[in-house]
Amino acid sequence: MDVFDGVDALPALPTPVVALGNFDGVHLGHRALFAATIRAARAIGGTAVALTFAPHPSTILAPARAPRLLTARARKLELIAAAGIDATVIVPFTPATAQLSADEFIDGIVVRALAARHVVVGWDFCYGRARAGTVETLRAHGARAGFAVEVVDKVEIDGAVASSTGIRAALTIGDVAAARQLLGRPPEVTGVVVHGKKLGRTIGVPTANVAPDTELVLGPGIYACRLVTADGIARDAVASLGTNPTVTQNGPIVLEVHVLDWQGDLYDQRVRVDVIARLRDEARFDGLDALVAQIARDIAAARAALA
């Protein structure tokens, strides 16, 4: 997949069919949008394009309410490519971008820069200053400017709409199963393994301390997971996300992953932690012996959840 930062030097793309959105998490709703984009592009021998923004528009429009992202840029691009999109265009979202009217946004970016022949959006798509543009105004604009508009309906799983907001809400309370249903894959954390206090190895449970690429959405707790290294190998693991209250007072939240039945050096490696099940809340124990006993129970519970 080709990736283009900005539209100023964007090369001409053959007969672009363009999906518009933020695509944080690349969940089942986004993948339905991409599937429609690819179908339309293949039907006319065109290019399936995803147009997205960086940073997330909320960081400019309402910083205090900006969401914690489900996926960092690199992972989002991986997932978009895996969905079959040919090219992704990342538009810098600046205060000037935020001031574009709905018509200015479509004319300047979608029509002139991209020369879109077909535009695909979700059922609740809004755009332009003050979110004045709607699906209806986009259809009217397309009729004037000569591009088709396709609207993809919401994707529902057991009555829940696949949305980034819904997935964040589920992860915040540790509802891994609900998040997984809406994502269509396990929720995940990506990041680099860094040096920690190395307490785990002193009690016989070495851990990889993962510094996340984005602010964590997942709520504190103990989780069964799989740690995926850069070579694509997934290893069963158990993870602790929290402040380690047994050994630290008012410490920072850290993600520590113990890989089951494996020893090796992961320092400075970029990894992905696929979260499979929540095992329990974080808790403070009366000393290291009690903590070690609980960790043994957590490992057994993780094995059962991952079996």
**Cα 52–chain centre separation:** 13
- Conformational region of residue 163, where left means phi above 0, alpha means psi within -120 to 50, and beta covers everything else: beta
Q: Quote the CA–CA distance of 249 and 169 in Å, as a whole number.
A: 27
User: Could you tell me if 152 and 123 are in contact, meaning their C-beta atoms sit under 8 angstroms apart?
Assistant: yes
User: Could you tell me if 150 and 36 are in contact, meaning their C-beta atoms sit under 8 angstroms apart?
Assistant: yes
Identity of residue 225 = C
pLDDT at res. 200: 67
Topology annotation, domain 2-160 = Rossmann fold (3.40.50)
User: Could you tell me if 299 and 206 are in contact, meaning their C-beta atoms sit under 8 angstroms apart?
Assistant: no
Topology annotation, domain 187-306 = Elongation Factor Tu (Ef-tu); domain 3 (2.40.30)
pLDDT at res. 243: 86
> Domain boundaries in the chain?
2-160, 187-306
- Tokens 């785990």, residue? 200
Q: Is the peptide bond before 245 cis (omega within 30 degrees of 0)?
A: no
Q: What is the pLDDT tens value at each position of the chain, 307 positions in all?
A: 999 999 988 999 999 999 999 999 999 999 999 999 999 999 999 999 999 999 999 999 889 889 999 999 999 999 999 999 999 999 999 999 999 999 999 999 999 999 999 999 999 999 999 999 999 999 999 999 999 999 999 999 999 999 999 999 999 999 999 999 999 999 999 999 998 776 667 777 889 999 999 999 999 999 999 999 999 999 999 999 998 878 777 778 999 999 999 988 899 999 999 999 999 999 888 888 888 899 999 999 999 999 9
* φ, ψ for residue 12, nearest 5 deg: -70, 125
pLDDT at res. 198: 67
Q: Quote the CA–CA distance of 97 and 103 in Å, as a whole number.
A: 12
pTM of the model: 0.93
Query: Which tokens is 118 given?
Result: 């077909």
Closest by Cα among 19, 18, 33 to 162: 33
pLDDT at res. 248: 76
